[in-house]
Amino acid sequence: LALFCTFGLPCCTWSLLSFATTMSAAEVQVADPQCAPMQCDPRVAQVESISTEMQQRASATRSTFKRPAVWVMAFGWSLALCAGFVNAVAFRSWGVFVSHVTGDTTSIGMHIEGYHAGRVDFFPLGLSVAILSSFLCGAFLCGMLIDKNQVHFGGKSFYGIALVGNATLLVVSILVPRHQLSACFAAMACGLQNAMCTSHFGAIVRTTHVTGTITDIGSTTGRMAMIFLRKGFRLSNLNVVERAEVAVDARKLLVLLPMWLSYLVGTVLGAYLETVFDIYALLLPAFVTLSVGLVYMFFRQ
């Protein structure tokens, strides 16, 4: 009896007090929300305030990215496939890449250094400058045709004309006899296409190269992995803000991963068809962009 009074009674009292406090808090949470603030437990009010703040943060996080419509994503994926196709055919036919200009910029810098070191070779330098300038010119033309940096079909955006122009440039690159000039026209077509869809609902989208896409995939999956790592890889341990962050990153991956995969599939198709049709394989992406452009122009009327 003495041991119970000394140890057991305080333990039971503490347990009952804790249970009562928990039940009281639960009752306050489900009580009438119009109750007077003076009648509410301050601790419960603080918990509710924190919960409301977290809900607001979660809502703000979810609003930072809205996944595009399926048809918009399909449009971007088809452009990425065409770009990979064109780049593979261009390298097989002319020995240069035309869908991005990072290598050309590097080549320009290296040849400038070679000029000062006595290694004068103007032809590769001129070719790199010409391809870079052609890509820039294509993006410039897109900026003149499309007045917004987001996919905005309808209104005054001349997406149909831009797509038809892309197809025309690809056809011209086939007909031009000189390989260097052909590569320039193909690079101009890629610049025009790449500027067509640069940003959409917070996700940077580049359709003619995948360096940024792979970077975004890596950083996004890294953020998701760190959130799960902090919570022991258990979804039930995530709070509402962390769940919102994971959901936003997952929606971004649904845009980025198919974009990279489409570009990869395009390069594979381009490599296979170039061995059969040679440079005339470029007629396939030209036909795709021309068809989409004409359909858009028809329905826009």
Helices vs strands, H then E, count in the chain: 11, 2
User: In this structure, what token pair is assigned to residue 24?
Assistant: 């009281």
3-class secondary structure, 148: coil
User: Would you say how long the chain is, in residues?
Assistant: 301
The pLDDT of residue 58 is 78
The pLDDT of residue 301 is 57
The pLDDT of residue 144 is 85
Please spell the DSSP secondary structure of 184-228, one letter per residue.
Answer: HHHHHHHHHHHGGGSEETTEE--SS--HHHHHHHHHHHHHHHHHH
Q: What are phi and psi of 201, to 5 degrees?
A: 55, 45
The pLDDT of residue 300 is 67
Please, is 28 exposed, middle or buried when counting C-beta atoms within 10 Å of its C-beta (0-12, 13-18, 19+)?
middle
pLDDT along the chain (301 residues), means of 10: 43 39 36 45 57 80 77 88 96 94 92 79 88 95 74 62 94 92 96 76 71 92 91 83 86 90 96 95 96 83 57
The pLDDT of residue 17 is 35
Q: Where are the alpha helices (DSSP H) in 31-121?
A: 42-62, 70-94, 102-116
The pLDDT of residue 198 is 63
The pLDDT of residue 278 is 94
Residue corresponding to tokens 């795709």? 288
The pLDDT of residue 273 is 96
CA 180 to chain centre: 32
